[in-house]
Amino acid sequence: MSELRLMKGNEAIAEAAIRCGADGYFGYPITPQSEVMETLMTLRPWETTGMVVLQAESEVASINMLYGGAGSGKRVMTSSSSPGISLMQEGLSYMAGAELPCLVANVVRGGPGLGTIQPSQSDYFQSVKGGGHGDYKLIVLAPASVQEMADFVELGFDLAFKYRNPAMILSDGMIGQMMEKVELSPQKERWTNEEIEKMHPWATTGKRPDRERNIITSVELDSEAHETFNNKLQAKYREIEENEVRYELTDVEDADYLIVAYGSSARISAAAIEILREKGIKAGLLRPITLYPFPSKKIKELSGGLKGVLSVEMSSGQMVEDVRLAVEGKVKVEHFGRYGGVVHSPEEVANALEQKLNGGK
Amino acid sequence: MEENSMAEVFNDIKKPENLVYSKSKVLTDNVMHYCPGCSHGVVHRILAEVIEELGVQDKTIGVAPVGCSVLMYNYIDIDWQEAAHGRAPAVGTAINRLWPEKIVFTYQGDGDLAAIGTAETIHACNRGENMIMLFINNGIYGMTGGQMAPTTLKGMKSSTCPFGREPAQDGNPLKITELLAQLPGTSLVTRQAVHTPAAVRKTKKALLKAFENQKQKKGTSVIEVVSTCNSGWKMTPVESNKWMAENMFPFYPLGDFKDE
Ligand SMILES: Cc1ncc(C[n+]2csc(CCOP(=O)(O)OP(=O)(O)O)c2C)c(N)n1
Ligand code: SF4
Ligand SMILES: [Mg+2]
């Protein structure tokens, strides 16, 4: 049975992981997301669903535990915040290279360096452009509510397995820490070992006499063969771009101005739009739900009838580059955002739009 | 006539009842890329023999390192995961936890296990992950062309300590196996070699024990094999074996550290 609960975004991730039948969580504590593992360790899912939960010695170890788990066909996940996610980049690159599915939740805090524990959206580049070495992408989902923190766990796993590629939930300290009503889905069964062997014939489940040995690897020393493999990866990314773009539109039908914002910034921008409309400025919102693949086509399509676009993000301007690429110079694109752990207010966003795009007052 | 009798002898030898040795069926027919005289090939062979003799080919999952043995999945016919440099113990940890009925081993060089992967090594052993760690200590980075390893001996030359390792500049050689024996999670910790038939037999025995321990869920078994890297050491295979016995064994004495 589904269940209505009031909980933090981080707790919702943990609850949703158990309920969607995840096999394993491997993590290392870091603020502002430690509640994910704390919740799991309190719920003790190994006694109910059989889900494994392990506190690793570092984020380097936890992402490589995901490699091992995913390589043997299991649904495994981790969560962390910015500095920890930086440590995982090597492992994520290896997983993309070995075509392994997994789910990583990044509850972003302000950087660079140790930075602050306050919310930020400054890991956009690292998340959507690859992050580690080599030509690869993560599938990136951006929740804007506690409900979506829960929902995107299963969605992230589904997409990761559909494309055999790591998926990331890119949230921030605000979504992770705030409490909201959330509808948790009913408990699903974990895949049985027999199901895993059937569904994922590539997984290292032990070489049976009736099949060739399975090898999970990202090494290919023959450069021609490696280019061919990279072409296959790229074809997969084009397919993802074709099929998996998700976004939400608010008040765009009659809009003169478009705000593009994800996660916390999208919620703040929705309030900013109300302020602007009260003043007679027709603004609308496009909220990317997938940051990779990015809703470039839709932004381009909308941009024809617009007087200006504002990219709102808690960073010094990262997503704005993709918004500019999307509109192909057709319309002015500006960026606004507080950063370093500061969260902008709806009034600040509304003012920025007026100042930067509506002639200022 | 002479040829005829030779053919007869060969045919006779090939009769199954007369065979005294054949390659393990768990070893593939791929030509190994190792330098002639390298210890890796010998260890692969006995590993394959142990897997065949115990009948566990269908439930053993190997985790290969980054190092000269990075492509060892080409040689042993089981399921494999190729881990990032040093991360095999973390990879193995998850396989072991998620598939507790399988047999998991890592195979790692000294750079992999005792330098870049030290944290993963120590914590997997300290948790007592139910897996086998095979540690090929050749005192050098073979794959990258002979640089200093954590286990390079004092005074021993490498391309990054070309005048010999000086502790004041380069730090000291690390006896990580002795360290791992101190951890409560390890059950079997032993140091072996494969430079003589007797040594090969002892290493194989240790491996059989380690596989047995895993079935009994005894925790982590660590088998160090003091090995030669004749290319990195710039010696012939015969010289390497001699040099190893004279220089490596005094600092890395062979024998069991723990057998519980
Ligand atoms: C992160 C990272 N750093 C460095 C390397 C380069 N590298 C490859 S193998 C190796 C050392 C291998 O030495 P060892 O583990 O002793 O194995 P051997 O080749 O001697 O068997 C190094 C430094 C790498 N592949 N990845
Ligand atoms: S370089 Fe050394 S370790 Fe590598 S294959 Fe040659 S002898 Fe063996
Ligand atoms: Mg070495």
Confidence of residue B22 (pLDDT cuts 50, 70, 90): confident
CATH class of B33-259: alpha beta
Question: Looking at the whole model, is its pTM more than 0.95?
Answer: yes
Across the range A346-353, mean pLDDT stands at 98
Q: Residue B196 has what pLDDT? A: 97
**Residue pLDDT, tens place only, A28-56:** 999 999 999 999 999 999 999 999 999 99
Q: Are the beta carbons of B97 and A62 separated by less than 8 Å?
A: no
- Cα–Cα dist A318/A301, whole Å: 21
Q: Residue B20 has what pLDDT? A: 84
Number of helices and strands in chain B (H, E) = 11, 9
Across the range B45-51, mean pLDDT stands at 98
Q: Residue A360 has what pLDDT? A: 67
Domain ranges across chain B? 33-259
CB-CB neighbors (< 8 A) of A56 in chain B: 90, 123
Q: Which ligand is nearest to the CA of B144?
A: 1
Can you give the three-state secondary structure of B218-235, one letter per residue? CCEEEEEEECCCHHHHCC
**Confidence check: pLDDT of B1 > 90:** no
- Residue B111 near ligand 1, beta carbon < 6 Å: yes
Q: Residue A167 has what pLDDT? A: 98
Q: Are the beta carbons of B120 and A60 separated by less than 8 Å?
A: yes
- Cα–Cα dist A41/A44, whole Å: 5
**Confidence check: pLDDT of B27 > 80:** yes
- Cα–Cα dist A250/A201, whole Å: 43
The residue whose C-alpha atom lies closest to atom 10 belonging to ligand 1 is B67
Q: Which residue of B has its CA nearest to A67?
A: B91
**Confidence check: pLDDT of A130 > 80:** yes
Burial of B12 (0-12, 13-18, 19+ CB in 10 A): exposed
- A23, A72, A78, A100: best to mutate for the B interface, most B CBs within 10 A: A72
The residue whose C-alpha atom lies closest to atom 5 belonging to ligand 2 is B34
Q: Are the beta carbons of B80 and A65 separated by less than 8 Å?
A: no
Number of helices and strands in chain A (H, E) = 14, 15
Strands (E) in chain A, as ranges, are: 3-8, 24-27, 52-55, 76-80, 102-108, 139-141, 166-172, 179-184, 215-216, 247-250, 257-260, 283-288, 290-292, 308-312, 333-336
- Residue B114 near ligand 1, beta carbon < 6 Å: no
Q: Residue B2 has what pLDDT? A: 62
Domains of chain A listed by start with CATH number: 3-193 (3.40.50.970), 248-357 (3.40.50.920)
**Residue pLDDT, tens place only, A212-270:** 999 999 999 999 999 999 999 999 999 999 999 999 999 999 999 999 999 999 999 99
User: Buried (b) or exposed (e) across A30-65, using 16+ Cβ within 10 A?
Assistant: bebbbbbbebbeebebeeebebbbbebbbbbbbbbb
Across the range B166-175, mean pLDDT stands at 98
- Residue B112 near ligand 1, beta carbon < 6 Å: yes
- Residue B137 near ligand 2, beta carbon < 6 Å: no
Q: How many residues comprise chain B?
A: 260
A307 Cα–ligand 2 center, Å = 65
Q: Residue B21 has what pLDDT? A: 86
Q: Which residue has the tokens 């950063």?
A: A339
Q: Using an 8 Å Cβ cutoff, are A54 and A195 in contact? A: no
Q: What is the ipTM of this complex?
A: 0.96
Mean pLDDT of chain A: 97
Query: What's the start-to-end Cα distance of chain A, in Å?
Result: 54
Burial of A197 (0-12, 13-18, 19+ CB in 10 A): middle
Of ligand 2's listed atoms, the one at least distance from the Cα of B145 is: 1
- Cα–Cα dist A183/A147, whole Å: 7
Query: Which alpha helices (H) appear in A244-332, and where do they start and end?
Result: 263-278, 296-303, 319-327
Q: Residue B3 has what pLDDT? A: 64
**Residue pLDDT, tens place only, B89-138:** 999 999 999 999 999 999 999 999 999 999 999 999 999 999 999 999 99
Min distance A295 CA to chain B CA atoms (Å): 34
Mean pLDDT of chain B: 96
**Residue pLDDT, tens place only, A308-334:** 999 999 999 999 999 999 999 999 999
